[in-house]
Amino acid sequence: VTEPRLSAVLYGGGRLCENVARILEGRPSVELLGVFRRDGRERALRLGADVVLVATTSFLSAVADDIRLAVESGSNVITSAEEAAFPWAVDETLADELDGLARERGVTILGGGLNPGFSFDALVLTACGATWDVESIRVGRVVWLGGFSASILRRLGIGYSADEFAAGAATGAISGHIGFPQSMRIVAQKLGVRIERIERQIVPTLTPSPIELESMPVAAGTSGGFEQHYTAFVDGSPWFEALFTGHVDLAAIGASPRDEIRIVGASPVHLVLDPGLGSQAGSAAVVANSLRRVAAAPPGWLTVADLPPAVPL
């Protein structure tokens, strides 16, 4: 059975759009109508493509107007904004409003890429399929960050002294990887579990030697990476732990990319991906491989837990 050809627009014009475009250009089942930057916003979002990718920032408030315009123009929307993977964790009113608008217009909104969107949620749920009576979940990722743009690296927490890092983390200017609460809530909602609270910690990894990257230099004595540890509590006990080691030069800290999922349940599950999933290629793949499942999904704002797996179609 031949699936109908889908039209797609990529809005943002950064690294993710570039990588998704490369995949779609080799995919005859998709007609890529264009990759647009800020100056092409109106055109991109009003074109009425079957699916619009909004890949600009990480924050729900910053992508909401773009999503609204694309939905009003009759497009399904995928956004890579991490907060949008489970928007109710950030702003319930706004999430409900856009969910209602999507239902009214008969289109679907999905927030997702590799993380959130796959490693800490969709893959975890798949792994839960091989056990039952899940007691706790522990997911760890070691990720090479060197492929991101300077603005993303600065927001993540790269290139700061220890004091600057502490100050930036306190104000939120440094966020580390965003999206753990979203992934945790996606998994919890699907498993019918209520998370009471989420504890978070982020610690910089200072580099003793300078590191030259394509996008920015990292001076000696500043952060070449960071360690994040998020814990979601259920009934007073840790239920979902997420550990993230990100660095722009993993070899310098004796690490290599790796993904690991441990599920304590009736039958233990221990999944190791070695080498771990590449953040750039993996994110582009999940997005490109989600066009069709989003176009075929029921209307409303969905999460990856509502959809079949992303497949390269």
Ligand X SMILES: NC(=O)c1ccc[n+]([C@@H]2O[C@H](COP(=O)([O-])OP(=O)(O)OC[C@H]3O[C@@H](n4cnc5c(N)ncnc54)[C@H](OP(=O)(O)O)[C@@H]3O)[C@@H](O)[C@H]2O)c1
Q: Does 281 bind ligand X (CB under 6 A)?
A: no
Q: Is the Cβ of residue 134 or residue 184 nearer to ligand X in the bound state?
A: 184
Contact 140, 260 (CB under 8 A): yes
Choose, by CB under 6 A, the member of 32, 33, 62, 305 that binds ligand X. 62
What backbone phi and psi angles, to 5 degrees, belong to 177?
Answer: -70, 135
Q: Is the Cβ of residue 134 or residue 230 nearer to ligand X in the bound state?
A: 230
- 56-62 long-range contacts (CB < 8 A, ≥24 apart) are 56/11, 56/12, 56/14, 56/81, 57/81, 58/82, 58/83, 58/155, 58/175, 58/178, 58/179, 59/83, 60/84, 60/87, 60/90, 60/91, 60/94, 60/95, 61/90, 61/91, 61/94
Q: Does 121 bind ligand X (CB under 6 A)?
A: no
Choose, by CB under 6 A, the member of 73, 75, 115, 222 that binds ligand X. 115
Tokens representing 224?
A: 């070449």
SS3 134: coil
Helix or strand holding residue 7 (H, E)? strand 6-11
Q: Which residues contact 87 (CB under 8 A, 6 or more apart)?
A: 60, 94, 95, 98, 111, 301
Q: Does 207 bind ligand X (CB under 6 A)?
A: no
Sign of the dihedral defined by the CA atoms of residues 298, 302, 306, 309, in that order: positive
The CA distance from 198 to 176, in Å, is 16
Which range, of 51-59, 101-109, 203-211, 256-264, touches ligand X by CB under 6 A?
A: 51-59
Q: Does 290 bind ligand X (CB under 6 A)?
A: no
Choose, by CB under 6 A, the member of 32, 33, 94, 152 that binds ligand X. 152
The CA distance from 242 to 230, in Å, is 5
CB of 79 to ligand X, least distance (A): 8
CB of 287 to ligand X, least distance (A): 8
Q: Is the Cβ of residue 154 or residue 200 nearer to ligand X in the bound state?
A: 154
CB of 1 to ligand X, least distance (A): 31
Q: Does 151 bind ligand X (CB under 6 A)?
A: yes
Q: Does 80 bind ligand X (CB under 6 A)?
A: yes
Q: Does 114 bind ligand X (CB under 6 A)?
A: yes
The CA distance from 193 to 137, in Å, is 12
CB of 41 to ligand X, least distance (A): 7
Q: Does 113 bind ligand X (CB under 6 A)?
A: yes
Paired strand residues for 225: 205, 247
Q: Is the Cβ of residue 134 or residue 187 nearer to ligand X in the bound state?
A: 187
The CA distance from 117 to 277, in Å, is 13
Q: Does 289 bind ligand X (CB under 6 A)?
A: no
Q: Does 242 bind ligand X (CB under 6 A)?
A: no
Q: Tell the residue number behind the tokens 């995928």, with chain if given.
A: 78
Q: Does 16 bind ligand X (CB under 6 A)?
A: yes
Which range, of 68-76, 107-115, 201-209, 223-231, touches ligand X by CB under 6 A?
A: 107-115
Q: Does 82 bind ligand X (CB under 6 A)?
A: yes
Q: Greatest CA span in the chain, whole angstroms?
A: 59
Determine the size of the site formed for ligand X (CB under 6 A). 26
CB of 303 to ligand X, least distance (A): 12
Q: Does 5 bind ligand X (CB under 6 A)?
A: no
Tokens representing 309?
A: 């797996």
Q: Does 15 bind ligand X (CB under 6 A)?
A: yes
Residue ranges that bind ligand X, judged by CB under 6 A = 12-17, 37-38, 55-58, 62, 80, 82, 112-117, 148-149, 151-152, 283
